[in-house]
Amino acid sequence: MRILGIDPGYATIGFGLLESERGNCRLLQYGTITTPPDLDFSQRLLMIYNDMIQLLETVQPDQVAIEELFWGHNVTTGIGVSHGRGVILLTIAQKELPLFEYTPMQIKQAVVGYGMATKQQVMDMTKRLLKMEKVARPDDAADAIAVALCHSRSNTSLLQGIQ
């Protein structure tokens, strides 16, 4: 199964594509979608939409996992990220792809085994689990890989079918 992990934003959107089969994962591709800060915000959202369509058509994921937003101290930035995330969710819905959302704590728990892990611990564990030579850069791409890895590990859980 091909899992596309997304770290949402409006200036930089991280993505990571994993091949997950029987609990084994292999990193296929990662990177970022960026928008120029000098563009009008609506034009940045349009650019995100067009780039997300192109990304989804190019990598053809079976499932998409995205990080839920965590509202920190900067509400203004959070609102912009919310707009970008909305555009990303729209493109995923238009492609009729199964979508899974995870909180930062769920991602940390799935990747490191501890929901209060530091960002560096998540990046280091992602590198180890996927046998990468170095931690992915920029951080947005590394975060997206962790989101995909979280979904892979959650999706193969024996508890998944229990309700």
**Residue 140 annotated as catalytic:** yes
b (16+ CB within 10 A) / e for 83-112: bbbebbbebbeeeeeeebbbebebbbbbbb
- Angular region, 64: left φ>0, alpha ψ -120 to 50, beta rest: beta
Q: Within its chain, how far is the Cα of 15 from the centroid?
A: 5
**Residue 139 annotated as catalytic:** no
Contact call for residues 103 and 70 (beta carbons, < 8 A)? yes
**Encoded tokens for 85:** 């995330």
Exactly one of 38, 40, 67, 124 is catalytic; name it: 67
**Residue 62 annotated as catalytic:** no
- Angular region, 87: left φ>0, alpha ψ -120 to 50, beta rest: alpha
Known catalytic residues? 7, 67, 140
